[in-house]
Structure formats: C-alpha cells, structure tokens
Structure 1
C-alpha cells in the first residue's frame, strides 16, 4: 500500500500545476502511468474490506489532483470495464461535486444498457462496497448509485 501511495503522491504533484492552470488541459503527460495506478487502486478497492475501502477513499480525498487527473479511457466495452468504472465512481466517493458523478453514472449505465450489459447486478455489487456518508447533502455514494442508475 505504501508503494501505491508514493506513486499516487508523485502523480498528484505532476497533475497539480495542470489542474491549477487558468485553462486546465486534459492532455496529461502521465496518462498511461496514472491509468495503471488507478487500475491497481480499483482492483485493491474491490477486494478490500470496508475499513480498507474507507482508507482508500480518504487517500483520494488527500490526493485530489491525482483524483482529478487519473481516469480510465473514455472508450470502453464489456461488463468488466463497466464494473471498473462504477468501482472508480465508488472509490472517488462523489469527488468534488456529486452532480458530476451522477451525470457520469447515468452515461455509463446508458452505454452499458445499449451494449446489452446486465447493469443491475453490477450496480448492486458496487452499491455494497460504497460509502454511506453524505458528503455534500445529496446522499451518500451508496444512495446515489442506488437512485440514479437507470
């Protein structure tokens, strides 16, 4: 876990000046490295107990520029990639704005339905691993996933 946090901190430092620029660019120099670390985090989060998942959510709260800059590719197909994206939403735990996460969730679910993916069992799995803390007065991530997944 310490090695992973060290890498997240390094990437957070690389993303900070880009995120703080007056016009932030999404063309990030560490994109492949950040995706690799993010996928490791997603796997770890999915396999962890609730206390460990809570610690991982706090880690992303602490390294907000990593949270901002690390993402999975926009183009994806298949149930495994849909699941990874929902787990990422759970891990980010509403990020800076619950409304953005709701829009992202709806987009992912709409795309998954269009692809013929069975959305309900995947959403239920991720709901079970999500936080029930209401960070911004719009409900917890658990409630958001339950309420806004079409």
Structure 2
C-alpha cells in the first residue's frame, strides 16, 4: 500500500514539474515576441501570421500598429499580426541535387547543362545499330523516320 502512495506522489510531482516547465517556456517565448515586435524598425522585412511579406514602413507604439509595404501596397496591422522577421530561404534547383536531395559534385553539375544547351537529348546508339542490323539481315532497305 505504501508503494502505491509513493508512486502516486512521484507521478503528481512529475506532472507538476512538466506543467511548470511548459508555463515557463511559454512565458519566455511570449516575452521574446513582444520584445521583437517593440524593436521593429522601418526597413525590416517581416512576415505576418497570414503569410503577407513586406518591409516595415511605420511603427506606432501608442496604438500597437505597424504599417508594412508589400509590393507597393501599404497595409496596417496590429503588432500581434507580425509573426517574425522574414528571411528568404535559399533556393536549390533540381539540377543541383540527385534523386535523394544530396548536392551533386561540381563535375556532374557542369555536365548536365551541356546536354541542355544543345537542346537535344543524347541518342542511344545501341538501339539504332540493332535496328539497322535487323533491317539489313531481312534484306529490308527502308529508312526509318526520325522525329
């Protein structure tokens, strides 16, 4: 009976500790967001919770409003609508990675555009040789159409 009470007390302490830690973490994140929003300056690129991207034009701390310019359109938002500072992600072309997403070696990446520049795909000569051999073996001298 004593071991079950001890186990219950340990479980209550663990659950209480987890709740306290989550609360502390949430308060810290909230304080960081408030600090970020209060320190916004014109020219900073931001993204809103609605995924609108633009540069800060004006910050009104009295009314907790911010004006951003998005592609020439000025929009006014409340501070709480600003999610974070926007950093454009790096773009990697499919030609720069293999089928597993690993970067290609420089030599392989240089070879790929060479075929594309000619505008033609490499011709598989083994098929053409086999066709011509079978045509000559049959005594058939007809030409095959090329596309």
| Structure (1/2) with the larger helix percentage | 1
Larger RCO: Structure 1 or Structure 2 (Cα < 8 Å, ≥ 6 residues apart)?
A: 1
The normalised TM-score by structure 2 is 0.22
For the pair shown, the structure with the greater C-alpha radius of gyration is: 2
